[in-house]
Amino acid sequence: MARMSPWIIAGVGCLGVAALGVVGIGGLGLLVSKSVSEEMSKPLDKEAVLAKLKLPIHPKAQWDEDLTKSIRAGSVVASKFAKLEMATASFRLSAPQAEVKDWYKKTLTEKGYVFQGETQEKATTLKFSDKDDIITVSLAEPAVLMLSRMKVSGR
């Protein structure tokens, strides 16, 4: 019987590792998809979400349940992998972004949060912190407000 070339053995080994990688990535994708579907189908308790968020809501902001559910689904999946505690909520605005941005800078600073900075990419994001949490206020067009409170383990 003829000996098999080491190149063939290496090729078969690499092919096996690649196949395992594809199966692993597919399994992870299925797990994430299932988690998101489960979260989207769960009922949303507005009062519980706002109590966990513990942030003031702009007077011209109206609760957006569908967007809050979507963001919650993503944050729950992220928290499973990254060991985060996170509360998020979304609102529709009937006020100009500049007014809302100034209101949050003033209101959260008065409540003892430290303003960490502002970024402007697809949305304007204000970042605040206190001794335990990171707070983000995101303003996106058209008239969307997203609030989040995140506690990273070890902080």
The verdict on residue 48 lying in a domain is: yes
DSSP 8-state symbol, 30:
H
What is the Cβ-side half-sphere exposure of residue 118, based on CA atoms within 13 angstroms?
9
85: domain range? 32-114+121-141
- Residue 129's SS3 state is strand
The verdict on residue 69 lying in a domain is: yes
The verdict on residue 55 lying in a domain is: yes
DSSP 8-state symbol, 48:
H
Task: Please give the tally of structural domains in the chain.
Answer: 1
Least confident of 18-32, 95-109, 138-152: 18-32
The verdict on residue 43 lying in a domain is: yes
More confident residue, 150 or 24: 150
The verdict on residue 27 lying in a domain is: no
Residue 62: both structure tokens together: 């109206």
Residue 11: both structure tokens together: 């090729």
Stated pTM of the model: 0.68
Tell me the Cα Rg of the chain: 22
Q: What is the pLDDT of residues 125-144, one digit of tens each?
A: 999 998 888 999 999 888 89
Q: What is the rounded CA–CA span in Å between residue 154 and residue 135?
A: 16
The verdict on residue 99 lying in a domain is: yes
Q: What is the pLDDT of residues 78-123, one digit of tens each?
A: 555 556 778 889 999 999 999 999 999 999 999 999 999 999 888 8
The verdict on residue 2 lying in a domain is: no
The verdict on residue 128 lying in a domain is: yes
